[in-house]
Amino acid sequence: MRLLRKSRRLGVGVAKAGFSVLELVIGTSILALIMGNIVMLQGATGNAYESGVFGSTLEEGADITMDRIALAIMSTSVDRLDEVLTAPSFVSSIEYEVVTDVVEGVPVVGLPERIEFDTPNGRILWTRNPDEDDQMQLTWSKFVPGLLEGEGAVPNGVDDNENGITDEQGLAFNRDASQITVRLTLSRTDSHGVVYTRTRSRRITCRN
């Protein structure tokens, strides 16, 4: 009887010990799961943060560059703007003079300026007094691909993105009467190999 009680006590003891081990295993597994989730979550948050920063930087860059181009075109008149081809053709560079004032019907103009696509380096350049000794040049944007979004990697004689212009470059201007349509794509690849692309298109009216 005493032995039985002893063995029962032992049995209870073993069961208790087994449960504790099981608890420990489950506890450890849950902890591992939670820790794993936290690590994954941190990773995902990091990626999302990078994606967000990348996307918004590109977004901002596209908007600022488009605003600058629009301001330049709005401050020149059609007859102070070099030939800009009509669709389906385009140009990727414009030269113009900013009309600063009109005195007795005669426009007062500033120094010539140029906005161009530096194709080899994927940049949009703005130059005041181009090709002169005192020319001043600024990079308005980087990360401009050879062709506009949707036109593919190489010119193929087809208007792949169906915007009425064939094989337009990453920066493209075309004309419709006194209006100039500007199209612009910026594209970047992040450290994970994800490509971010932002495209802007705006129709701008030259001043009279």
Instruction: Work out which of 98, 115, 165, 171 binds Ca ion, going by CB under 5 A.
Output: 165
By beta-carbon proximity to Ca ion, the closer residue of 122 and 170 is 170
Instruction: Work out which of 93, 161, 169, 181 binds Ca ion, going by CB under 5 A.
Output: 161
- Shortest distance, CB of residue 162 to Ca ion, whole angstroms? 7
Angle at CA of residue 65, ends 59 and 70, nearest 5°: 125
Sheet order of strands, 195-205 included: 171-176, 179-189, 195-205
- Shortest distance, CB of residue 107 to Ca ion, whole angstroms? 34
Give the separation between CA 117 and CA 104, rounded to whole angstroms: 36
Please name the residues in contact with 175: beta carbons below 8 A apart, sequence gap of 6 or more: 84, 85, 86, 181
By beta-carbon proximity to Ca ion, the closer residue of 93 and 163 is 163
Which x/- pattern over 119-158 shows residues binding Ca ion (rule: CB under 5 A)? --------------------------------x----x-x
- Say whether residue 163 binds Ca ion (CB under 5 A): yes
Please name the residues in contact with 208: beta carbons below 8 A apart, sequence gap of 6 or more: 77
Using CB under 5 A, list all residues that contact Ca ion: 151, 156, 158-161, 163, 165, 167
